[in-house]
Amino acid sequence: MEYPNNDNNGLPRATRDVSLHELSTRLAEFSQVRGWDQYHSPRNLLLALVGEVGELSEIFQWKGEVGKGLPNWSSAEKEHLEEELSDVLLYLVLLADVCGLDLGQAALAKIIKNAIKYPVITPHNNDHSQNPTNSK
């Protein structure tokens, strides 16, 4: 497996955009050489994903509201957040792959559906009942 650069811990650190396809390919190789594919059922992956979301939630649990850019967070706290976000992303990509879904295309389609469901509000159609966080 080839990695771009190394960070100060000697770990790979990408300096470019990474596609979902590349993550998928690297995950497939990673799990195949370790013999983990046999454990990667949709159910198992979903449960692992939920566990990782729990770990991500713990980071914010007692912090109260946090500003954009994470002001006043140490580099160690930000690194921990990166790791937990990465775990969530990787399990999500793997789950989509095992289910035979194109996560990137599904996400783009969902954005389009949400744009139709929640049109841009102008002064003439100002409906405060729309909640953009309710994109189920």
Inter-CA distances, 91 with 9, 10, 20, 41, 45, Å: 24, 24, 12, 12, 6
- What's the confidence (pLDDT) of residue 109? 98
- What's the confidence (pLDDT) of residue 23? 97
Alpha helices in 61-102 (DSSP H): 75-98
| Amino acid at residue number 15 | T
Q: How many CB atoms lie within 10 A of CB 104?
A: 14
Domain edges within the chain: 5-101, 102-136
**Nearest-angstrom CA–CA distance, 12 and 58:** 26
**Nearest-angstrom CA–CA distance, 93 and 20:** 7
**Nearest-angstrom CA–CA distance, 67 and 55:** 20
Mean pLDDT by 10 residues, the chain (136 residues): 50 79 96 96 98 97 94 96 98 98 97 97 67 60
**Nearest-angstrom CA–CA distance, 11 and 79:** 12
| Amino acid at residue number 93 | V
Class of the CATH domain delimited by 5-101 = mainly alpha
